Amino acid sequence: MVVTTTSLPLFVLGQGVDPHSERGVDCPGELPPASDPALVARARKAKEALGDRLFVLGHHYQRDEVIQFADVTGDSFKLAREAAARPEAEFIVFCGVHFMAESADILTSERQKVILPDLAAGCSMADMATFDQVEEAWEVLEDAGIAGVTVPVTYMNSSADIKAFCGRHGGAVCTSSNAKRALDWAFEQGEKVLFLPDQHLGRNTAVLEMGLSLDDCVVYNPHRPNGGLTDEQLRNAKMILWRGHCSVHGRFTAENVDDVRARVPGVNVLVHPECRHEVVTKADYVGSTEYIIKQLEAAPAGSTWAVGTELNLVRRLGTMFPDKTVMFLEKTVCYCSTMNRIDLPHLVRSLESLAAGQVVNQITVDPETTHWAKVALDRMLALP
């Protein structure tokens, strides 16, 4: 599969075939039935047969049935770096979502093949910024006379095309761990930042960590003419936030925080910066997935935590730290539906196909996109 720069039509998740999209692609091929009691043994056998030729990466939001086969677990950036640090592995099976597998392909050698067990495992946030939309937005900034002083910064959770766009236009990639450092760097290069695609991470970092005000931020809506903004609003803004969000973290509300505090006296509220500004300002602690794990690791026994992030991870944290009470911030269940698409049958199919000499669901980023995306990634890696 080669990434191109076409416009993305809207597909309902898992329906229709759009090989250029993060979303809605089906997964052709024979899958073992989920009811097969031998699935665990089959995955183990195929993995053993592949030996050092195989390296399995597991994102923190993956199901337990899949994560048990991961050679390493982590957030998207840690996993991409782990893949790059394993040049001997011919096959990288990425149990995560599409943009993560793309990043792994960008950072690994040409000899290595990156496999996503289900091609329909996209990311709704990454889909909210398409290449054509971002190109159009840049033209809007040019017409307003501010493109020359604007630095594009994209969150890791974006397609390779968007990372390449940032590389070409003097910008960089950031993660939720280094967003402040990336923005400090960007404001040294220019006067404004176009932040893609997560408005919440951009706003939370700018306002809570860099001392900018909410009035310094505007939201660019790619579905409205001129982004729904006047040229004056664009010229006055310091942070131009793309109108994108995570469907999981965007669900948490300020009422969730009030509610848990009323129900559970002494609870510590710990949330991810992809949550809305009003949630983050009410929380006790805010940080990336890796920060959340470390925070709970260091927490005193007997303490109680309401965690606002993906449910697979929150449940696993509860098991990892049985001496602490770990609960989900919201009352209703909320997994990342695209992360959850990677299940044991898809993993078994990928591993058994590889063991039989057949590469399925390989993710390949074309050389031009790889070059410019790597420029943006390298700028991030060079951050102080």
Residue 336 interacts with ligand SF4 (CB under 6 A): yes or no: yes
Counts for the chain of helices (H) and strands (E), in that order: 17, 13
List the structure tokens of 141: 């900034």
Q: How near is the Cβ of 262 to ligand SF4 at its closest, in Å?
A: 27
SS (H, E, C) 123-156: CHHHHCCCHHHHHHHHHHHHHCCCHHHEEEEEEC
Among 21, 73, 108, 124, binds ligand SF4 (CB under 6 A): 124
Minimal distance, residue 62 CB to ligand SF4, in Å = 11
Q: Phi and psi for 31 in degrees, rounded to 5?
A: -105, 140
200 is in an annotated binding site: no
Q: Which amino acid is at 329?
A: L
Contact 295, 177 (CB under 8 A): no
Q: Is 79 an interacting residue with respect to ligand SF4 (CB under 6 A)?
A: no
Cβ proximity of 237 and 137 under 8 Å = no
Contact indicator for 137, 194 with CB cutoff of 8 Å: yes
Pick one of 176, 178, 338, 369: the residue that binds ligand SF4 (CB under 6 A). 338
| Separation between Cα atoms, residue 175 and residue 190, nearest integer Å | 20
Q: How far is the CB of 15 from ligand SF4 (least distance, A)?
A: 18
Residues in the chain: 384
Question: Smallest distance from the beta carbon of 157 to ligand SF4, in angstroms?
Answer: 5
Q: Which of 82, 161, 310, 352 binds ligand SF4 (CB under 6 A)?
A: 310
Select the residue interacting with ligand SF4 from 50, 93, 97, 114 (CB under 6 A).
97
Q: Judged by CB under 6 A, does residue 129 bind ligand SF4?
A: no
Which stretch in 177-185, 225-233, 243-251, 356-364 sits in contact with ligand SF4 by CB under 6 A? 243-251
CB of 336 to ligand SF4, least distance (A): 3
Q: Does 156 bind ligand SF4 (CB under 6 A)?
A: no
In the complex, the smallest distance separating the C-beta of residue 26 from ligand SF4, rounded to whole angstroms, is 19
Q: Is 109 annotated as a binding residue?
A: no
Q: What is the DSSP letter of 40?
A: H
Q: Which residue has the tokens 């840049």?
A: 138
Tell me how many residues contact ligand SF4 (CB under 6 A).
13
How many CB atoms neighbour CB 267 within 10 A?
Answer: 19
Q: Which amino acid is present at 8?
A: L
Q: Which is nearer to ligand SF4, 162 or 246 (CB)?
A: 246
Does 293 bind ligand SF4 (CB under 6 A)? Our answer is no
Q: Among the candidate windows 15-23, 108-116, 144-152, 242-250, which touches ligand SF4 by CB under 6 A?
A: 242-250
Residues facing residue 150 across a β-bridge? 192
Q: In what order do the strands lie in the sheet with 113-115?
A: 72-74, 54-59, 91-95, 113-115
CA–CA dist 286, 284 (Å, integer)? 7
Whole-number Å distance between alpha carbons of 67 and 81: 18
- Residue 123 in the binding site for ligand SF4 (CB under 6 A): yes
From the list 275, 362, 348, 340, the residue with the least C-alpha distance to 13 is: 340
User: Of 147 and 336, which has the nearer Cβ to ligand SF4?
Assistant: 336
CB of 273 to ligand SF4, least distance (A): 12
**Binding-site ranges for ligand SF4 (CB under 6 A):** 61, 97, 123-125, 157, 246-248, 310, 336, 338-339
Annotated binding residues for iminosuccinate: 59, 76, 155-157, 176, 272-274, 289
Annotated binding residues for [4Fe-4S] cluster: 123, 246, 336
